Chains A and B, each alone.
Chain A
Amino acid sequence: EDQVTQSPEALRLQEGESSSLNCSYTVSGLRGLFWYRQDPGKGPEFLFTLYSAGEEKEKERLKATLTKKESFLHITAPKPEDSATYLCAVYTSGTYKYIFGTGTRLKVLA
């Protein structure tokens, strides 16, 4: 069965304290891995798409990387406005749906 696991569940950082979020996946044929940001009571906001192992994408303080079994979302020198839940989702072969992880709730303290 296809599965996506995110860790940690929650993370508290001081402003400027860099860290990484993990998304591990077990799927039958990865077609794409996606990172989203979700603020409370809002819909997921698209951040990155990764398609193959070794691929990296960057946007401001965020950098996403992909291996054959997991993806990392690196947050460099975070600010309080980076506080949100970060979601990982995968597309697998032969489907039209995302499988989401449970997310990592990030809190950045000033």
Chain B
Amino acid sequence: EPEVTQTPSHQVTQMGQEVILRCVPISNHLYFYWYRQILGQKVEFLVSFYNNEISEKSEIFDDQFSVERPDGSNFTLKIRSTKLEDSAMYFCASSVSVREQFFGPGTRLTVL
């Protein structure tokens, strides 16, 4: 059964460094998303991406964040100048259309 994959599973970085989180969505899906979940809190929307451009973003998704689909399979989230409060699980999701989304296993980001 096709699934969304994410790498790395755990990323540790120093405050102020840049990180890139990688995702491989399900191959025939057209919509891609990033969400984050701070420990003990709810899943929060960051950004959605369709047809090689951002279709929607939340207030959280400021100039510190960017997304890219560098080739036909990968979808990346870049976080510049990381802060302590960026520590969270980051989930990538994909969907065929604007309906049920399928989530990856997540990347745990720890900012020290």
Q: Footprint of B on A, CB under 8 Å?
A: 31-32, 34, 36, 41-46, 49, 87, 89, 91, 95-103
Contact = CB atoms under 8 A, between A and B. Distances in A.
Given A43-B104, A43-B105, A46-B100, A95 B56 contact: yes
Nearest to B58: A97
Contact of B102 (A41, A42, A46, A95): A46
Given A43-B103, A44-B43, A45-B103, A96 B91 contact: no
Residues of B contacting A: mostly: strand
21 contacts: A34-B101, A36-B103, A41-B89, A41-B106, A42-B106, A43-B103, A43-B104, A44-B103, A46-B102, A46-B103, A87-B43, A91-B98, A95-B56, A96-B55, A96-B56, A96-B98, A97-B33, A100-B45, A101-B42, A102-B41, A103-B42
A100 B91 contact: no
Contact of A97 (B4, B45, B106, B108): B45
B42 to A, nearest CB: 5
A97 B56 contact: yes
A99 B35 CA distance: 10
A100 B50 CA distance: 21
Interface centre among A87, A100, A101 (most CB of B within 10 A): A100
B48 interface: yes
Residues of A contacting B: mostly: strand
A96 B42 contact: no
A97 B108 CA distance: 21
B99 A100 contact: no
Interface centre among A45, A87, A89 (most CB of B within 10 A): A89
Contact of A43 (B48, B91, B99): B91
